Homo-oligomer: A and B are copies of this chain.
Amino acid sequence: MKKYNVAIVGATGAVGQELLKVLAERNFPIGELRLLASPRSAGKKMEYQGQEYTIGLTDENAFAGMDIALFAGGSASTTYAQAAIDAGAVVIDNSSAFRLRDDVPLVVPEVNPEDVDWHQGIIANPNCSTIIMAVALKPLHDAATIRRVVVSTYQAVSGAGKEGIEELTEQIGQVLRGEKVDPSVFAHPIAFNLIPHIDVFQEGDYTKEEWKMIKETRKIMHEPNMAITATTVRVPVYRSHSESINIELEKKITAEEARALFASAPGVVVLDDTMQKEYPMPLYTSDKDEVFIGRIREDLSTEKGLNIWVVSDQIRKGAATNAIQIAETLIQRNKI
Chain A residues close to B by CB (< 8 Å): 148-150, 152, 154, 169, 172-173, 176, 187-189, 192-197, 201, 204-206, 214, 227-229, 231, 233, 235-238, 242, 244, 246, 255, 272, 274-275, 277, 279-283, 294-302, 305, 307, 309, 311
Please report the C-alpha to C-alpha distance between residue A188 and residue B237 in the assembled complex, in whole angstroms: 14
Question: Are the CB atoms of B205 and A297 closer together than 8 Å?
Answer: yes
Residues in B neighbouring A275, C-beta threshold 8 A: 201
Listed from nearest, the 6 A-B pairs whose CB atoms lie closest are A227-B301, A152-B244, A152-B152, A193-B283, A229-B301, A201-B274
A172-B172, A193-B281 known; 15 new pairs, CB 8 Å cut-off, are A154-B154, A154-B194, A192-B237, A192-B238, A194-B235, A196-B242, A196-B281, A204-B300, A205-B255, A205-B274, A214-B300, A214-B301, A227-B302, A229-B246, A229-B302
User: Closest approach, in angstroms, between the C-beta of A285 and any C-beta of chain B?
Assistant: 10
CB pair A300–B205 under 8 Å, yes or no, is no
Given contacts A201-B274, A201-B275, are A305 and B196 in contact (CB under 8 A)? no
Given A192-B236, A294-B196, A295-B196, decide whether A229 and B300 contact each other with a Cβ distance below 8 A: yes
Chain B residue, CB-CB nearest to A295: B196
Tell me which residues across on chain B come within 8 A of A235, comparing CB atoms: 154, 194, 235-236
A194 engages B148 (CB within 8 Å): no
Q: Pick 22 A–B contacts, CB within 8 A, sort by A.
A: A149-B301, A150-B150, A192-B282, A192-B283, A193-B281, A194-B242, A194-B281, A196-B294, A197-B274, A197-B277, A201-B274, A205-B296, A205-B297, A229-B246, A229-B299, A229-B300, A231-B246, A233-B242, A233-B309, A235-B236, A236-B237, A246-B246
Q: Are B236 and A197 in contact (CB under 8 A)?
A: no
Contact yes or no, B229 A194, CB < 8 A: no
How many Å lie between the Cα of A187 and that of B275 in the bound state?
12
B residues less than 8 Å from A309 (CB atoms): 196, 231, 233
A244: which B residues are within 8 A, CB to CB? Answer: 152, 196, 231, 233, 244
| Cβ contact of A237, chosen from B152, B193, B238, B311, cutoff 8 A | B193
Specify which chain B residues have a CB less than 8 angstroms from the CB of A214 in the assembled complex. 300-301
A233 contact set on B, CB distance < 8 A = 154, 242, 244, 309
Contact among B172, B238, B298 with A204 in the assembled complex (CB-CB below 8 Å): B298
Given A295-B205, A297-B206, A301-B228 in contact, is the A237-B194 Cβ separation under 8 Å? yes
Closest to A311 in B: B194
Give the complex CA separation of A194 and B173 in angstroms: 20
Which of B205, B236, B307 meets A229, CB within 8 Å?
Answer: B307
For A168, give the chain B residue with the smallest CB separation. Answer: B192
User: Does the CB pair A194–B282 fall under 8 Å?
Assistant: yes
Residue of B nearest to A231 (CB): B244
Residues of B within 8 A of A173 (CB): 176
Taking CB atoms, residues of chain B closer than 8 Å to A272 are 205
Bound CA–CA A5/B176 (angstroms): 40
